[in-house]
């Protein structure tokens, strides 16, 4: 796991871990000073696209709760078995945080939290699927489980 170096570079560290890149290689894929101001899930999707890596961006119910409007969220269960960079609510509950999801556990780039976390312990807001999209995970029913109100 690549560890954060600043309070705002969790997205860079999670991206580096997901793609098995160095921190420095990853930093060059994002906007100047991204390590000091942070990145977004859309920045992550754009960086993957620029590298020619197919990706998919999805939102979850808590995303719409946080922005105070209705939406069309995916079921959080869609991430099971599918590697992704997740945007979660920070442990304090007042900010956003990026973690690498290996398909089974979340790996936090914050050096204060070295232990992997279970899906149930996360408040998911967004995901950018990295090496598998939900469509590629369809064999497990994740494609249909990803939509509210649709059973597999």
Closest by alpha carbon to 131, among 20, 5, 13, 29? Answer: 20
What are the pLDDT tens digits along the chain (152 aa)?
999 999 999 999 999 999 999 999 999 999 999 999 999 999 999 999 999 999 999 999 999 999 999 999 999 999 999 999 999 999 888 899 999 999 999 999 999 999 999 999 999 999 999 864 445 444 334 444 443 444 44
- Is residue 29 within 8 A of residue 51, CB to CB? The reply is yes
Question: What residues contact residue 106 under an 8 Å CB cut-off, 6+ apart?
Answer: 86, 88, 99, 100, 116, 117, 118, 119, 121, 122
CA atoms of 98 and 61, how far apart (whole Å): 17
Integer Cα distance of 149 and 152 in angstroms = 10
What pLDDT is recorded for position 131?
64
Residue 130 has what pLDDT?
85
């Amino acid at each position: 796991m690549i560890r954060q170096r600043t309070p705002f570079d969790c997205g860079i560290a999670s991206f580096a871990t997901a793609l098995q890149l160095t921190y420095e290689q990853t930093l060059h894929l994002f906007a100047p000073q991204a390590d000091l101001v942070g990145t977004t899930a859309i920045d992550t999707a754009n960086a993957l696209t620029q590298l020619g890596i197919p990706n998919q961006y999805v939102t979850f119910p808590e995303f719409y709760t946080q922005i105070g409007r209705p939406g069309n969220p995916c079921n959080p269960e869609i991430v099971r078995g599918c590697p992704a960079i997740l945007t979660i609510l920070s442990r304090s509950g007042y900010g956003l945080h990026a973690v690498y999801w290996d398909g089974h556990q979340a790996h936090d780039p914050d050096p204060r939290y070295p232990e992997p976390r279970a899906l149930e312990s996360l408040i998911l807001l967004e995901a950018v699927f990295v090496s598998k999209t939900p469509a590629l995970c369809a064999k497990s029913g994740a494609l249909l489980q990803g939509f509210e109100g649709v059973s597999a």
